[in-house]
Amino acid sequence: MRIPIKEVTSGTAQAEVIGWVHEVRDLGGLTFFLIRDRTGILQVTIPKKKVGDEVLAAIREVSRESLVRVRGSVKAIEKAPGGRELVPDSFELLARSESPLPLDVVEKVPADLDTRLDARFLDARRPRVTAIFQIRSAVTRSVYEYLFPRGFVNITTPKVVAAATEGGTELFPIAYFEKEAFLNQSPQLYKQMMMAAGFEKVFEIGPIFRAEEHNTTKHLNEATSIDVEVSFADHLDVMRLLEDLIVHIYRFVQDQCADPLEALEIGELAIPDTPFERLPYPDAIDIAAKATGEPISYGDDIGTVAEKAIGEHMGAHYFITDWPTAIKPYYAMPCEDDPSVCKAFDLMHPRMELSSGAARVHLHDLLAHQIRAKGLSPENFEFYLTPFRYGMPPHAGWGLGAERLVMTMLSLANIREAVLFPRDRHRLTP
RNA sequence: GCCCAGGUAGUGUAGUGGCCCAUCAUGUCGGCCUGUCACGCCGACGACUCGGAUUCGAAUUCCGACCUGGGCGCCA
């Protein structure tokens, strides 16, 4: 009966494991194999004079990264990794690996990210990479475990859509029978329609597509968005929800992912403190102007240099609030006392933006007005605008970038490290 | 869209006009080795993205193509 390598301890008598050949050290009369599965690494020691001919024949055939099944007795040995080793009665080659390998799994020689992504299946055998995706899975799970008990309904919305509804970013056109269609940039409009449907609290974790030709370490053309929308809530409510969720995710990962965190040499995650600081937009641009010496006018977007300067100044997660209405999307609700300011916010990690959200415009005429004010025509938004004429509740929500969350949590240098098969300007395979 | 940088064995690199039929490491193959843990030692194998130009001579300079990384704008 095969067991995970992690479960082989110095107290185990007999064990059968299946894994990949991580390393081989042949000392002549004695050969050491390191066998790896997703749970860990086990040393298999072969004293050539004391094992059968079948074992000797098998080990002549194996190459690095071949898949093998080994059965034998476990010995507690202090000088072996993990304090135990396996001396095989049987050593079976299940699937031979060709050589040379496209990249060095043991990482004696580093591989470029590009090379690694070309051979992602092999790259992902590396304990460090396995750990990233075990943690990413835990992040997703913790979102479900946070939202379901709070009454959220998990929805899925179309990724194939008819028109560029939000404006701003570029969309990927696709062929949809005889019609023109696009890949959706965000579930935004559909989440809002479900507010009209009375679902009250919805969320979706799904792909979003942006056809921007950017080429940076923090952008993807296909990303994963954790999207939330809540009726009878305003921006302040959903900001509290968001910061509480972030802390919940960090705690969950800290509790559940000790081994992966160890593999990443992180050990203890720094759990963010709540409440996150609320930094009004005018203060944010002041900080940036002072830090960079570059003047920033009210109403300017906060560029990368400014964002970095503000992040260094803040040193922890924070919200930017009180945004000028002019530089936020049409669906952000303007403040009653000063409509030039809106109820939108961005959640920032010191390194980058993680999420943006707002209290939404739920009044049909105001929404139509704001769409026109952005130079868009309400006629193209009929499917979206109609629900606002039939009892749309006030609501608020946000979208949180899953890859950026994982990337900042684990201090990854490149967002592509947080996706198994990233889609960027140049990469469409694997 | 704009700007910068770069393409040398499977992988990561050195080499900026002749000292290079190309450095080092890792790998692969062969040999020696019974406690390695980046095992060690000996030997071998394996590469200048493509096309054109300059030159007595080009991995190296120039032009073009192709490919790639990064920065900015914008954004999650």
At residue A3 the predicted structure's pLDDT band, cuts being 50, 70 and 90, is: very high
A212 CB and strand B closer than 7 A? yes
- Return positions of chain B under 7 A from a protein CB: 1-3, 10-13, 25-29, 32-40, 67-76
In angstroms, rounded to a whole number, what is the distance separating the alpha carbons of residues A305 and A289? 10
Q: What percent of chain A has pLDDT over 90?
A: 70
Which whole number is the average pLDDT over A48-63? 88
Q: Of A236, A328, A218, whose CA–CA distance to A281 is shortest?
A: A328
Q: Mean of the pLDDT values across residues A320-330?
A: 93
Residue A43: nearest nucleotide (C-alpha to C1'): B37
pLDDT of res. A164: 62
For residues A104 and A426, what is the distance between their CA atoms, to the nearest angstrom? 24
With cut-offs at 50, 70 and 90, classify the pLDDT of residue A374: confident
Through-space separation of residue A323 CA and nucleotide B69 C1' in angstroms: 35
Each residue's pLDDT tens digit, A87-126: 999 999 999 999 889 988 888 888 899 999 999 999 999 9
Using an 8 Å Cβ cutoff, are A26 and A63 in contact?
no
A372 CB and strand B closer than 7 A: no
Q: Which pLDDT band holds residue A20 (cuts at 50, 70, 90)?
A: very high
Q: What is the pLDDT of residue A169?
A: 66
Condensed to tens digits (0 to 9), the pLDDT of residues A161-191 reads 887 666 556 788 888 998 888 899 999 999 9
pTM for the whole structure: 0.92
**Nucleotide nearest A113 (Cα, C1'):** B69
Complex prediction ipTM? 0.87
pLDDT value of residue A36: 94
SS3 A93: strand
| pLDDT at residue A28, as a whole number | 87
pLDDT at A263 over 70: yes
Residue among A352, A146, A149, A154 at smallest CA distance from A246: A146
Q: Which amino acid is at A387?
A: P
A56 CB contact with strand B at below 7 Å: no
Query: Which residues numbered 111-170 in chain A sit less than 7 A from strand B, measured from CB?
Result: 111-115, 168-169
d(CA A410, CA A353): 15
DSSP A122: H
What does the mean pLDDT of chain A come to?
92
Say if CB A181 and CB A200 are below 8 A apart.
Answer: no
List the A374 CA – B31 C1' distance (angstroms): 77
Tens of pLDDT, residue by residue over A398-419, are: 999 999 999 999 999 999 999 9
Per-residue pLDDT, A168: 57
User: Which of residues 315-354 of A have CB within 7 Å of strand B?
Assistant: 327, 346, 352-354
Q: So what's the pLDDT on residue A213? A: 84
- pLDDT tens string A329-344: 999 999 999 999 999 9
| pLDDT recorded at residue A248 | 97
- Which nt sits closest to A304, CA to C1'? B72
- Write down which residues 90-109 in A have CB closer than 7 A to strand B: 99-104, 108-109
